Structure 1
Amino acid sequence: MIDQSTGIRGAGLGLRRNFIESVAADPPGSVDFYEVAPENWMRMGGRNGRLFRSLTERLPFVCHGLTLSLGGPTPLDEPFLTELREFLELHSISLYSEHLSYCSDQGHLYDLLPIPFTAEAVGYVAERIRRVQDILERRIAIENVSYYAAPGREMEEIDFLNAVLVEADCDLLLDVNNVYVNSVNHGYDPVNFLLALPPQRIVYAHMAGHYVQAPDFLVDTHGAPVIDPVWRLLGTAYQAFGIFPTLLERDFNIPPLAELLDEVAAIRNLQQRTAEPALRLCHG
């Protein structure tokens, strides 16, 4: 088991307003932790705000940001980061992650755009990540993102990602679906990509579904169930690195909570199946 002292373990679920009341009334025992985008909750009042506070008082949470634009050309929003630090402290949330991408340029672009895979960009984004960590007074995790073009590429995606992790001295939120989507769209071996990652930096993982536009063109939508090749890739990661906390994301076409819990249970079952041989060896 990879232990990064994040306070989370097991199988998690992205909390959505569609089912917050059901979770608050009877938290599913199969969910070990929840994730929210802080931008959606930092200024939330009323009933949903109270429900959210009641949950963070009882259950482990992590935060996954949407708007920080780590690779963007405009200055970091430091007042937002100060407000975010207060939000994390209020709700006793130790772990914050963001996308290794950019999404603003004198205005929000409403998409996650790829940072050029260059040495100059490594230095630029790493400096911004270090500044974020200084303001938040904690390490953060960056997520490998899906991308559909690589303008200005001077290095491979895996080399760019690893260089940022080292220079920024931050952690990794491993999005397994994004590895698979990118491997299909850009023609690389997803297992080789996984095995080149630094396991000591993985704090948790995302699992999600995608849309098949064509056999060689997948779109990361978080709007469908996880498919078998992505489950197999997660199993490969567990076998290579040990079991780490893993969370199910679903942002569109959200089904009834029971269906989401079935996928959370599949994460837990995979974790248990992977752990059993290791336990037998330990007690053999």
Structure 2
Amino acid sequence: MLDEFCQTVPSDIDFFEVAPENWMTLGGKFGRQFRELTEKHEFYCHGLSLSIGSPAPLDLQFVKNIKDFLDVHQIGTYSEHLSYCSGSGHMYDLMPIPFTSEAVMHVAKRVKQVEDIIERPLILENVSFYAAPGAEMSEAEFVTAVMQEADCKMLLDVNNIYVNSINHKYDAVDFLKAMPSERIAYLHIAGHYEEAADLIVDTHGADIVEPVWKLLDACHQFHGVFPTLLERDFNIPQTSELLLEINKVHDYQNRHIASLKRSA
């Protein structure tokens, strides 16, 4: 999309989100094009490798490199996954943190470490997970406890709530209601792959399904309207097709804002 967006960016796109790991070491043509875009448009960063819940020490040099990248491109928003992806080595996958009080304290301490280095808030995303080893509390209890203890903001992923609700058989709306409105910084919405009736895989490689759209609508009712990122990591169609879903997000936002004005 670089060549396309360096020529023109549709007005329907309010901001972009990138994984800093994919861009922070690039120079040459790609580096110049990326710089051209960040100078003209708003960007958020959503990291892949911080491994905030890992038992291994934080990679402090990596965190410093993230800060340098954010500074160069004047990006204020940096989010990461409430999970981990490293131990004795890097697993290149997002593993579930045990839902325990000990893990809450461990993550909160590391969040403050990261924020001291990057000199920005660290925003944490509720993740999709496929097993809950050693859980002593529910996912909702764990997520809210981390947000409270770390005093940090949340990236609320609506699709992840739906995926987990099917895989772990809980009520998605109840989970959504339990999330702290005052902690939410922005939203993600995406498609997934239905492997079986009771198993959904979070892929970001398909169109958004109707139950997830309904959950987004419920999110607006419970928590209000926030910047919302359409995630699409592969099977990427033409921009004109992506804009159909982007504008559907705008439609949901505008309908909610209009309803608030009518009731005011």
TM range (shorter): over 0.9
Secondary structure of the 2:40 match is coil
- 2:76 is aligned with 1:94: yes
Partner AA of 1:241 in structure 2: H
- 2:80 is aligned with 1:112: no
Partner AA of 1:243 in structure 2: V
Segments of 5+ residues of structure 1 without an aligned counterpart are 1-18
Match of 2:152?
170
Match of 1:31?
13
Match of 2:237?
255
> 4+ residue runs of structure 1 moved beyond 4 angstroms?
none
Calculate percent identity across the aligned residue pairs: 56
Match of 2:50?
68
Structural RMSD (CA): 0.8
Match of 1:202?
184
**Bigger shift: 252-261 or 223-232?**
252-261
TM-score for both structures, normalised by structure 1: 0.91
Cα distance in 1 for partners of 2:42, 2:236 equals: 22
Residues 243-282 of structure 1 correspond to what in structure 2 (within 5 A)?
243-282=225-264
Partner AA of 1:205 in structure 2: L
Secondary structure of the 1:57 match is helix
Partner AA of 2:11 in structure 1: G
Match of 2:119?
137
Cα distance in 2 for partners of 1:89, 1:60 equals: 14
Cα distance in 1 for partners of 2:223, 2:103 equals: 28
Per the TM alignment, residue 41 of structure 1 is displaced from its structure 2 partner at its CA by 0.6
Partner AA of 1:84 in structure 2: I
- 2:142 is aligned with 1:160: yes
TM-score for both structures, normalised by structure 2: 0.98
Instruction: Pick one of 41, 64, 75 that aligns with 1:59.
Output: 41
- 2:22 is aligned with 1:43: no
Q: Per chain length, whose mean CA-contact separation is higher, i.e. which structure has more relative contact order (CA < 8 Å, sep 6+)? A: 1
Secondary structure of the 1:109 match is strand
Aligned length: 264
Segments of 5+ residues of structure 2 without an aligned counterpart are none
Match of 2:195?
213
